[in-house]
Every structure is written in C-alpha cells, then in structure tokens.
A and B are shown apart, each in its own frame.
Chain A
Amino acid sequence: MTAKTARLHIRRGTPGAPARTETFAVPFEPGNSLLDGLRWIRATLDPTLALRFSCINANACKECMLELEGKAVYACTERLREGDMHVAPLANKALVHDLITEIAPRDERLLD
C-alpha cells in the first residue's frame, strides 16, 4: 500500500492566550484513525501537542472528543483522509491545553 498524506490544521493554545493554528503533514495507511495521526505527530514532530485519550481504539472511554471541521467527533473513530483536515478543541467546553478540554463531570474535578 502506498502511504497517503493528510494535512492536519490543529488549533492550539492555553486559556487566556490567543489561539494559533499549526499545520502538520501526516503520512498514513488507509484505515488509520485521526488519533493514530495525532499520536504520530507527538512521537515524530512535536511531543508538546496536548491531547486526551485513554482506550486508544475501542471507543470505550469516550475521552478523545474534539472537533473536526467544526463537528464534535471521537478522534479514535474518525479516519485520516488525504488533504486538509481542521482539528480544534471542543468549543462548548472550557479549554485546558491544545485539544484538551474540561470534560470531567463537575463533581469529579479537584478545583471548581
């Protein structure tokens, strides 16, 4: 199989600072998930990219929620595709860092 390339435009930042968009070219085999691509970016290009996930592939933990093209999705069940993909943190949750938002139930947070 020939590797294809996705261009991931990722909105990054921390609370209180202006957000920036960074673009990463991610090679992939057909079938790979968006989460595969984000993990590849961390291991290969930029380990500071912040994202939250737990079960990796089973869609059991529901922790890897983020926005793709403005829609809330699970990174583990979206496939990478050739061309541009726009990734951002959930808009309706408080930003923590890059793609991580505050998704814990209110009574399970340490501070609030």
Chain B
Amino acid sequence: MIRLESDVLVIGAGGAGIYAAIAAARDGCRVHLIDRSLIGRGGATVMAQMTVAVALGEQCPDHWEHHLADTLAAGRGLCDPALSQLLCENAPSRIREMDAWKVGWARENGHLKQVHAPGHDRARCVYVDFLNTGPAVSRTLRAQLNRIAAIRRIGDVLITDVVVHEGEAVGAVGLHLVSGEAVALQAKSVIIATGGLTRLYRRNSGSLNMGGDGYALALRAGAELIDMEFVQFFPIGHLAPRMIGMDPIMWDPFRYKLGGRLLNAKGEEFADRYGQAESGNYVLTRDVATYAIFKEVEAGRGSPAGGAYLSFAHVPEAELRKAFGPVIDRLAKNGIDLTKMPVEVAPIAHYHMGGVRVNAAMQTRVPNLYAAGEAVGGANGANRLSGNGITEAFVFGERAGSAAAAHAKARTASGWNDAAAARALESIGARGRADSAPNTAALLVELQALMSDKVGPFRTEGNLRAALERLRKMQQELGPFPAGGAHYDMVCLDWLDLRNMLLVAQCVVRAAIERKESRGAHQREDFPGMLPEWDLNQRLSWRDGELSLARAPAAPAPARVS
C-alpha cells in the first residue's frame, strides 16, 4: 500500500478541483490534487464550448442580482438561494482573476465581449474563440497550478472511498491504475470535485470519467444528495452525419452567433408549438427545446437519425467564416458544408443539477468533507441556465478550497485510522481472473441504454420502475468483488465504475419515481404540469446498505430578486 499525507485532499482535477487546490495552497496548505485520468484533461471543463455567465457589466449595465434572478427563475423554484447567490455574486471576481491569468476572454471595442444566452435577461456570457472556452480555461488553470510547489498533482489514481472514522472524513483510499496498487491518502480536509453523471447515458457531452463517482463517494461517506432527479439534456447535441474530432455540443456557439433555424422533417420551425417562438434569435431554454424536439420525433416529424434539423443555409458563407474561421474547415473535413445542408441534432445528456448537499461554505454534513463544482447540488434547482457551469466550477472551487484550508489549519491531525481504511479497501480487493468475469464493458453499455431509454428527460412510472428493477439485477450480475486488478486492468476498473454508476443511477430513478409532477429537466408524461405541493427538494442518504429518501420545503427566494 502506498501512503500519502496532506492538509487538503482534492478529488478530481477539472475546473473546480484545480481552483480548489489553488485556493487551498494560497491559504497556506499542502495539497494533493488527485485525478483518475490525467490532470486537467478529463472532466467537463475541458469540453466547454463557449459561454461563461457573469454579471460584469462590460457589454451592457448589469448587476449580480439580475444574474441571480435569472438563475432562480431557471431553477423553477427549487434552487438553494444561498448557493445561487454565492455563484452569481462571486462570479465577477473569478472571471476577472481568470482574465488576469490571461485566459483570453473575447474582446471587442476595448471591453470584454458578452453574448446573450437563452434564459438570461441581457448579454452576460464571456467566452474564448473559437469554441475554445474549455481548452483555454484548462490550459490557464494548469499553468497557475504548475507554479505552486505546495500542490502535488497525481494522475491515474482512482479514489474508491472516502475514509470515515468516528463519523468524520479522515482521507480517502483508492487504486493506482498504472501499478494496480492500493493507495491511502490521509488529509485534514477532503474536497470532492469529480463532476457529474453524464456517463450514465448513451449519448452524452461529458468525459469518460463523469460516471457520478463523487455522488457515490459522498453518499457512502454519510453525506446527503439533493435534487438527483434533475438531469439536464442539452437539446441540440450533434447527431448526424458522423463527425470526428468535434465536440457534440459545438452547435451552441453557432446558435449564439448566427441564430440558425431548428426544423422538423417537413422543414418547418416548430418551437412555437411548445410555447417559445424563435424568430431568428436563439432564445429557447434547454428544457423547452429538449421537450419540443422529443415531441416532434414522437409525432413522426423527426429527422432520419431521430432528431431535428439545424440549418444555417440562410447564412452567407462569408458570415459563417467570419464567425467561426478554422471550424468551418474542420467541418469541411467531415463532409459538412453548412451553406448547402442542415445537420441533425438531438438532446444529449449534458449536466446534473443534483448532487452533494452542502452549505454556503461547501461543507457536507460529514465533518471535514467538502464538495465543489458540478458535484454540488442545489445551486441550479430543476434546470441550469446556460453559462452557469464553468462559473460554478470557479466559484465553488475557490470557496471549497478556501473553506477546507481554514478548517484544516484549525486541526492538529487528520484523525486517520488504519482499520477504517483497510475496511474500505477490502471491499474492492480484486479476486479472480478478469477473463472469467461478466463482460463489464457490455454491462456499462447496457446501463447507458437503460438510462437513456427509460430515465431520459421524459419519464413514466412504468419505465422508471422497470429501470429500477433492472438496475438491481445488474448489481447482482456484477457480483460482490471485482476481478483482475494488475496494471491498468480494465475489467477491474469497469467493476469499480459500475459499482458507483449503479448506485447513482438508482438515486436518479428513486427520486424521479417519487416526484409526481413535471418541472424543469424532470418531465413526467403521467404527471404533466408543475405543482405547488412539489416545491420541495428531495434528499437521499445511505444507511445500512439502503437508500433513503426525505423531503424538505424549498427555501424561498430572497425578497428583492423574487
């Protein structure tokens, strides 16, 4: 077993994790920044195509209270206003800090350029050209990170459990993938920054490492999860023709800059049938657009691959090239000429509104355990506004790092306990040969199909119950222990992923079965319409190997923005 010790342990090295590590080190702590993949390459941050929402007032006058009002409205009454406020109020400092670190936010006429994204009341989103926000943000954060000696960066380590002793988090255990050896990391504060759960779905816009690890880690450690039924689908994920080397959510920036027309198989615009007319501008919110595309396909008016057409054929070529330069050439290599043909798009799993329940200092209910970024639930309620994802990574990352550092400095020791760590490691010790284990890769594919077909944005009691039953059976098929376990053993890795993914999938399904109404990203075909009696947040916890679900009234919005 390899032993490591630090003040603050950060699990996950995307935008939130890196920001947390920087903040904790800035406050004088020794930090371990761990990722199962390579540092700053996995996660959702690097995949971001464009918008970062922030009330800077550069493009037009703005105030964070307006950003907050829009965030709360998008959340359909379920946001935790304290978290939403933190997100909006602290966003300008973080975005200015990133600017000082030379991220390269797009500029125009001597000011930062901000675009108007759906659901916002004004132009509020900064970005980096062309489709380059995620890579630029990752590069900038990595450059800052690499200068800080107090942070040790370690990739290829999969954290399998937070170690809890006498009710408190004291560190974590995991697997060094390259060698297959167990790793024990003790720390005075632990931050979960592992992102969301997009990998539960067949078509998704996230990285491979977003299988909901952090939710499972938090749950098993004794923390609560909140709002787990709300999975955001990004409405216009690329569907056809097959493209390589391009992100499936790349059409979003095209819509910001050029509008574009969303058409059904008959060539008709259809968004107005579902309550939001477009008239050349990009104003459709994500939940309404997802609903509209699904309904058109269901009515037999879908595109050949089962989505909608997105057309820029009315936009002159010179304008396309001015807006997207080199991207037009990359499209050409994929055989796509936007002046002549539409592309096909369909909803794609994109973000999770639910997550670990924390207070405004990013603390969970487990002492010494924090969460940051998309792993956190509550800030976005039932539906997230465009552009709030990267912003919350920065803001919550900084907040968690700083709070975890203050907490660690006030403690004299981690309280590490070898027996507790050994118990956590024992449950994942590989036994048996990988080639005689169930086909874990096939189980993963089946899980993604099950979640997509039965637990997508449109849900019924029958489908949800069938999914739950199948999830429980899959858990039995998976077996109690992983097989394999040596150098980067994929069968062992899949087993560990499935252990978490099956647990997290059950959280989504359980919460979705209970919520007998339709709101934001959770649409029940058998319970259409939003009901005031469901102005509730659902909280999940894990006791004695069983999930339990509780309800709490949603906190009211502050008077001045409601």
Which residues of A pack against B, CB within 8 Å? 14-15, 29-33, 39, 42-44, 47-63, 74, 76-77, 79, 96-97, 100, 102-105, 107-111
| A91 to B544 CA separation, bound complex (whole angstroms) | 49
B489 touches A50 (CB 8 A): yes
Q: Which of B207, B244, B246 has the most CB of A within 10 A?
A: B244
| A57 to B207 CA separation, bound complex (whole angstroms) | 9
With A54-B41, A58-B47, A104-B38 known as contacts, the answer to whether A76 contacts B490 (CB < 8 A) is no
Residues in chain A near residue B530, CB distance under 8 A: none
Give the 9 A-B CB pairs with smallest separation, nearest first: A31-B242, A58-B247, A47-B441, A42-B441, A59-B245, A77-B245, A97-B488, A43-B441, A54-B42
A60 touches B208 (CB 8 A): no
| A15 to B243 CA separation, bound complex (whole angstroms) | 35
Residues in chain B near residue A48, CB distance under 8 A: 434-435, 484, 489-491
| Nearest residue, chain B, Cβ from A30 | B242
B219-254 near A? 1/0 per residue, CB < 8 Å: 000000000000000000000011111111000000
From A33, A61, A97, A110, give the contact of B41 (CB < 8 A): A61
Residues in chain A near residue B246, CB distance under 8 A: 57-59
Smallest CB–CB gap between A59 and chain B, Å? 4
* 25 examples of A-B residue contacts, CB within 8 angstroms: A14-B487, A29-B242, A30-B242, A31-B241, A42-B441, A47-B490, A48-B489, A54-B209, A55-B42, A55-B46, A57-B248, A58-B247, A60-B134, A60-B135, A61-B42, A62-B41, A96-B178, A97-B486, A97-B487, A102-B178, A108-B154, A109-B156, A109-B178, A110-B154, A111-B178
Residue B531 lies at the interface, judged by CB distance under 8 Å to chain A? no
| A102 to B487 CA separation, bound complex (whole angstroms) | 11
A111 touches B494 (CB 8 A): no
Smallest CB–CB gap between A47 and chain B, Å? 4
From B207, B243, B434, B486, give the contact of A54 (CB < 8 A): B207
Number of interface residues of B (CB under 8 A): 47
| Nearest residue, chain B, Cβ from A53 | B208
Residues in chain A near residue B153, CB distance under 8 A: 107-108
A79 touches B439 (CB 8 A): no
Smallest CB–CB gap between A95 and chain B, Å? 9
Residue B155 lies at the interface, judged by CB distance under 8 Å to chain A? yes
Give me 17 other A-B pairs in contact (C-beta within 8 A), A60-B47, A111-B179 excluded: A15-B487, A43-B441, A43-B444, A44-B442, A47-B440, A48-B434, A48-B489, A49-B490, A55-B208, A58-B246, A59-B245, A60-B247, A61-B37, A97-B486, A97-B488, A104-B39, A110-B2
B445 touches A56 (CB 8 A): no
**Interface SS of B by simple majority:** loop
B427-450 near A? 1/0 per residue, CB < 8 Å: 000000011010111101100000
From B47, B439, B487, give the contact of A47 (CB < 8 A): B439
Residues in chain A near residue B441, CB distance under 8 A: 39, 42-43, 47
Smallest CB–CB gap between B183 and chain A, Å? 7
| A34 to B488 CA separation, bound complex (whole angstroms) | 21
| A29 to B445 CA separation, bound complex (whole angstroms) | 19
Residues in chain B near residue A29, CB distance under 8 A: 242
Smallest CB–CB gap between B145 and chain A, Å? 10
Smallest CB–CB gap between B484 and chain A, Å? 7
Smallest CB–CB gap between A68 and chain B, Å? 14
Residue B157 lies at the interface, judged by CB distance under 8 Å to chain A? yes
Residues in chain B near residue A62, CB distance under 8 A: 41
Smallest CB–CB gap between A50 and chain B, Å? 5
Residues in chain A near residue B155, CB distance under 8 A: 104, 108-109
Q: Which of A49, A102, A111 has the most CB of B within 10 A?
A: A111
With A48-B434, A57-B245, A104-B155 known as contacts, the answer to whether A97 contacts B489 (CB < 8 A) is yes
| Nearest residue, chain A, Cβ from B33 | A108
Residue B176 lies at the interface, judged by CB distance under 8 Å to chain A? yes
Residues in chain B near residue A105, CB distance under 8 A: 39
Smallest CB–CB gap between A107 and chain B, Å? 7
| A62 to B37 CA separation, bound complex (whole angstroms) | 11
Q: Which residues 472-529 of B sit at the A interface, judged by CB distance below 8 A?
A: 484, 486-491, 494
B244 touches A57 (CB 8 A): yes
B486 touches A61 (CB 8 A): no
| Nearest residue, chain B, Cβ from A59 | B245
Residues in chain A near residue B2, CB distance under 8 A: 110-111
From B41, B154, B243, B486, give the contact of A109 (CB < 8 A): B154
B157 touches A96 (CB 8 A): no
Smallest CB–CB gap between A84 and chain B, Å? 21
| Nearest residue, chain B, Cβ from A104 | B155
B99-121 near A? 1/0 per residue, CB < 8 Å: 00000000000000000000000
Q: Which residues 313-339 of B sit at the A interface, judged by CB distance below 8 A?
A: none
B489 touches A33 (CB 8 A): no
| A63 to B243 CA separation, bound complex (whole angstroms) | 19
| Nearest residue, chain B, Cβ from A95 | B487
B244 touches A33 (CB 8 A): yes
From A14, A30, A43, give the contact of B486 (CB < 8 A): A14
B245 touches A100 (CB 8 A): no
B207 touches A61 (CB 8 A): yes
A63 touches B491 (CB 8 A): no
B46 touches A60 (CB 8 A): yes
B460-475 near A? 1/0 per residue, CB < 8 Å: 0000000000000000
Residues in chain A near residue B444, CB distance under 8 A: 43
Q: Which residues 173-209 of B sit at the A interface, judged by CB distance below 8 A?
A: 176, 178-179, 183, 207-209
With A43-B445, A108-B154 known as contacts, the answer to whether A56 contacts B207 (CB < 8 A) is yes
Residues in chain B near residue A49, CB distance under 8 A: 490
Residues in chain B near residue A97, CB distance under 8 A: 486-489
B208 touches A54 (CB 8 A): yes
| Nearest residue, chain B, Cβ from A58 | B247
Residues in chain B near residue A52, CB distance under 8 A: 488
Residues in chain B near residue A56, CB distance under 8 A: 207-208
| Nearest residue, chain B, Cβ from A32 | B242
